[in-house]
Chain A
Amino acid sequence: MITALWALGALALVFGAILGYAAIRFKVEADPLVDQIDDILPQTQCGQCGYPGCRPYAEAIAGGDIITKCPPGGEATIKKLADLMGVSLDSLDQTQNKQEKRVAYIREEDCIGCTKCIQACPVDAIVGASKQMHTILSNECTGCDLCVEPCPVNCIEMRPVQTTAERWKWDLQSIPVHVVEVK
């Protein structure tokens, strides 16, 4: 009986020690909630939420900030965040709607090559060198607007993304299927 108690006690100590060690050794560094929120945010890095990028805002949400501060994400993002954070949607101001998707465009003939826009772009979507013409990789541009203001000659403008046949969305009028009468 005593031996059994001893044995159990020893076992408890051993496992306790192992668990304690594991807790320190395999400590999870980042807050997984922040990662989850960060994954939902659109990663435009535009700073319109008032934070210097999406991750800081994710941290702020995890810390209790409201979830409706991200205009590029629009309604879909708010919905997902509400799901994740367990906030009810009705209590939130849903005035923010996703606008038309746009990307920056440099009127190349006007560019004086001051490189200011490059410094402003958070995702390195602008190529150019000092005193050379600059241009935007429209596939990489997130449409964050941040390069428009710094340009001293105002040669950057935001243009709507061209619709292609692949990206085109159906509209009701084009589908004749419902006009087949039933005999």
Chain B
Amino acid sequence: MPSLFQQIQAGRIWDFHGGIHPPSRKTQTSQKPIDSYSLPARLYIPQRQHIGVAGRVLVKVGDHVLKGQALTAADNAMAVPVHAPTSGTIVDICLHPSAHPSALPEPVFVLEPDGLEQWRPRHALDMLHADKAQILQRIQQAGIAGMGGAGFPSHIKAGAAAAVDYLIINAVECEPYITADDVLMQHHSDTIVQGIEILSQLLQPKAVLIGIEDDKPAAIKAMQQAVAGKNHWFVRALPVKYPSGGEKQLIQRLTNKEVPSGRRPIDIGIVVQNVGTAFAIAQAVLEDIPLISRVVTVVGQSLSRPQNMYALLGTPVHELLSACGFEPQPSQRLIMGGPMMGFTLPDARIPVVKTTNCIIAPTHEELPVAGPELDCIRCGACTEACPVNLLPQQLLWYSKAKDHTQLQAHNLQDCIECGACAYVCPSEIPLVHYYRVAKADIRETQREALKAEQAKARFEARKERLEREKQERAERNKQLAAQRQQQLADQQKQQIAEAQARTQAATTELTHAEIVAERERKKAEARAYQAAKLAAEQDIIQSAEPTLSADDRAEQDPRKAAIAAALARAKAKKAQASGEAESTSVEAATVAAAPALGNTVEPQSSSSDDAKKAAVAAAIARAKAKKAQASGEAESTSVEAATVAAAPALGNTVEPHSSSSDDAKKAAVAAAIARAKAKKAQASGEAESTSVEAATVTAAPALGNTVEPQSSSSDDAKKAAVAAAIARAKAKKAQASGEAESTSVEAATVAAAPALGNTVEPQSCSSDDAKKAAVAAAIARAKAKKAQSASNSEAATDPTQADSEPPLADSDAVLPPVPQDEPQVVAQPEPVAANPSAEDAKKAAIAAAIARAKAKKAAQNPQEPS
């Protein structure tokens, strides 16, 4: 029994399982010379044309580049650069449909040729003195990637460190139509042989096998002549059979070796290179011509002159087609690659890339559209045809059932997507399609699993971190507490010593009185709490009134106000529920409740000097904001009216406590509320009904006023600037409301706004804190943003109005710009506002009360129209 090598030497070839014999249709182009065409107007050169990562971009828009100049640089082993196919100007770097079945846009260089074909300086490599690394570097720098279809960087294959027995040159070209390699061998066999020599110098194989199908007699003859006299170089003519050109199939045919599943040919000592790649390597090494063009078969019965072309990489497909006399049919299809493994192009602007070997423009008679898919009849023809010995029919079932485990058990990953099974299937089942989808699904699932694993790890790490932080904090607190106790003990000791030194009688009595007072207060609280609970359980409309009376009581006892707040919260919840209901009557109730809420809270703050209460108020405000948001999203317009009413209430809640406050923290709370409101306003602004817009508008002036008066009392130029900015923002908004369509709701908006404004002013009169101003400024900024987004959408419809109105708002900054619709309301509050004599806090409080009353009325009035 002769050894394998002896058998190969003796010229033996083998066969693989399955395979098909589709009509080859190669004669249309194989006898013609390779043609070239005039320079296209623009070249679209994708930044990545191979498997791996794109290189680093070297040029910028406007740069003039020379022919062969690198446009990207390869920073790592898996990258290869792309080059300018001709001299010209980079006019753009943008996204362009890619030469991929998905045609997803990818980054390209757009090159406008200058027609001069000016080369960059070229330096041929001296093969006698060049070492392996130099040659490999040259191959990489020339941008050479497998030209047979996969686009794997050639320098990696050519630089294989493992011992190589056989170098196989793939010139099979088994797909129908394609003749690019055929004509290349006919016309450039010498250069190809030089390329193979370079490759054998790099790989040092025992033998070189050149596999060509026997339907290319001219190419076989040319290659045989070119390799004449070479030791251990064999040109093998293979009987036609698809898919002999598959890497693993070719290896089997030429050497009778099988590449194990999941391994690469190099693992069994074999390297396969495409004949086009060998040609490109020779050009790059010996002439320093990087990969900037390739031979492309342009074929199909829609063309009057089908032929092979030297196509510059980046040439849009339609340029090539028109150079071949393209007469498009109705619903013309274009296929890139062969009819078996290629893909249809959704767009004729897609450029030629390094892996493009063929473009087919078939007529419908030539490649008819597939008929409807029928059920599998279990004929087994697909199993007969599969070159990889898979069970396509089983795979089909599992693909349809999405059974990934079974698919993997049946070696779906080994399917080369050759399409032989689909070709023979009498039921016209697009089997390959199912496999491709299943493969993508499996890949996706694997990716997801990996991601889930990472997410879990991150989640665990976070939990651990939080736990650790908590412990650390507890530790610190313990230490601090211990310290404090120590201090306290020391102080107490001191105090005791001091007290002992002084007389004792008065002290004890005072303490006694304090205890009594405390007890009283607690009792009152408990009682009020009971009442609150009762009230909360009652119907909304009824409960609105008790609140008012509770409000009176609250003025006597600041603590009760807190209870009222709790009550208000309960009501807010109910109001929310009703806000989502659709009947209008319930909404009216909501509206009634809202002002009440506002009032309940206010006295508390005006009489309080406790930061905690302010925080409670803030909590209520936030709860209300949520509710308002929910109702804003509801569809009935009356619900939006409720939103409108809620806004003034909110406004009131905030203001008084700031009027009495001298604490920056409260201001911060106010800011938080304002932000929450901004959110709500935004949400309602996004709702579709126009009245919602009106609501947005309401909230805004209320906010705005809070800020403005500050400037009137301030002596700080910066604040004034801020106020001006706000005024402008508001002007924009006011305008937006002017464009809103439902007038009735808008009127409500307008009425509510001034009332709000007035209540706010006292705050500023008493404020003397720069921090608050800063906070207000922050709010203003937030609002400005919102206002901008609102105006962007609305002012766009009526820009003229947008320009005309702002001055008006600027001129009277204190005056809310909205009230044009209802001037009398504005007129009244104005004096109050304008009197920032405000040496007296009481007056301010009265003003607030008036404003509140008006807010209530205003809020109730618009209910009827809506």
Contact = CB atoms under 8 A, between A and B. Distances in A.
A174 B458 contact: no
Contact of B458 (A140, A164, A181): A140
B367 interface: yes
Interface string A109-128: 01010000000001111000
A169 B437 contact: yes
B343 A165 contact: no
17 contacts: A45-B459, A54-B456, A123-B458, A152-B675, A152-B679, A153-B678, A154-B679, A163-B102, A165-B102, A165-B104, A168-B100, A168-B104, A169-B440, A170-B101, A170-B437, A177-B341, A178-B370
A68 interface: no
Interface stretch (B289-297, B447-455, B842-850): B447-455
Given A142-B451, A163-B104, A170-B436, A178 B98 contact: no
Contact of B433 (A76, A125, A172, A182): A172
Contacts of B433: 170, 172, 175, 177
A112 B786 CA distance: 13
What secondary structure prevails in chain B residues at the interface with A?
helix
B430 A43 contact: no
A71 interface: no
A130 interface: no
Smallest CB-CB A-B distances: 5 pairs: A178-B370, A177-B419, A43-B452, A168-B102, A170-B436
Interface in B101-135: 101-102, 104, 106
B521 interface: no
Nearest to A173: B344
Contact of B423 (A152, A172, A180): A180
Contacts of A76: 402, 445
A103 to B, nearest CB: 11
Contacts of A176: 333, 335, 339, 342-344, 367
Q: Determine the interface band of chain B, counting residues with CB < 8 A from chain A.
A: 35 or more
Contacts of B344: 173-176
Given A123-B455, A124-B458, A170-B101, A181 B367 contact: yes
Contacts of A167: 440, 444, 447
Interface in A40-94: 41-45, 53-54, 76
A27 interface: no
A89 B335 CA distance: 43
A11 to B, nearest CB: 45
Contacts of A164: 104
B483 to A, nearest CB: 27
A82 to B, nearest CB: 14
B498 to A, nearest CB: 44
Contacts of A174: 101-102, 343-344, 346
A149 B456 CA distance: 22
Given A42-B452, A180-B176, 17 more contacts: A43-B452, A45-B455, A54-B459, A76-B402, A123-B458, A165-B106, A169-B441, A174-B102, A175-B101, A175-B430, A175-B433, A176-B339, A176-B343, A177-B423, A178-B423, A179-B370, A180-B367
B159 interface: no
Interface in B327-381: 333, 335, 339-344, 346, 362, 367-370
Interface string B652-696: 000000000000000000001001101100110000000000000
A183 interface: yes
A83 to B, nearest CB: 10
A178 B447 CA distance: 30
A54 B23 CA distance: 56
A147 B23 CA distance: 59
Contacts of B23: 181, 183
Most B C-beta atoms less than 10 A away, residue of A41, A44, A76, A154: A154
Interface string B29-53: 0000000000000000000000000
Given A153-B678, A176-B342, A110 B370 contact: no
Nearest to A183: B23
Contacts of A178: 370, 422-423, 428, 430
Nearest to B428: A178
B456 A172 contact: no
A152 B676 contact: yes
Nearest to A38: B456
A170 B682 contact: no
A143 to B, nearest CB: 10
Nearest to B785: A110
A97 to B, nearest CB: 14
B429 to A, nearest CB: 8
Nearest to B404: A76
B422 A177 contact: yes
A41 B98 CA distance: 36
Nearest to B106: A165
Interface in A2-48: 38, 41-45
Contacts of A183: 23
Contacts of B432: 175, 177
A180 B461 contact: no
Given A43-B459, A123-B455, A163-B102, A175 B436 contact: yes
Contacts of B341: 177
Interface string B457-476: 01101100000000000000
Contacts of B101: 168, 170, 174-175
B226 to A, nearest CB: 33
Nearest to A178: B370
Contacts of B340: 177, 180
B440 A140 contact: no
A81 to B, nearest CB: 14
A140 B370 contact: no
Interface string B403-440: 00000000000000001001110001010110011001
B462 A122 contact: yes
A116 to B, nearest CB: 11
A158 B704 CA distance: 31
Contacts of A152: 672, 675-676, 678-679
B286 interface: no
Contacts of A124: 458, 461-462
B22 interface: yes
Contact of B343 (A112, A122, A175): A175
B782 interface: yes
Contacts of B678: 152-153
Interface in B1-47: 22-23
Nearest to B452: A43
Nearest to A168: B102
Nearest to A41: B452
B440 A170 contact: yes
B735 to A, nearest CB: 22
A114 to B, nearest CB: 9
B782 A153 contact: yes
A71 to B, nearest CB: 15
Contacts of B428: 178
Contacts of A45: 455, 459
Contacts of B368: 179, 181
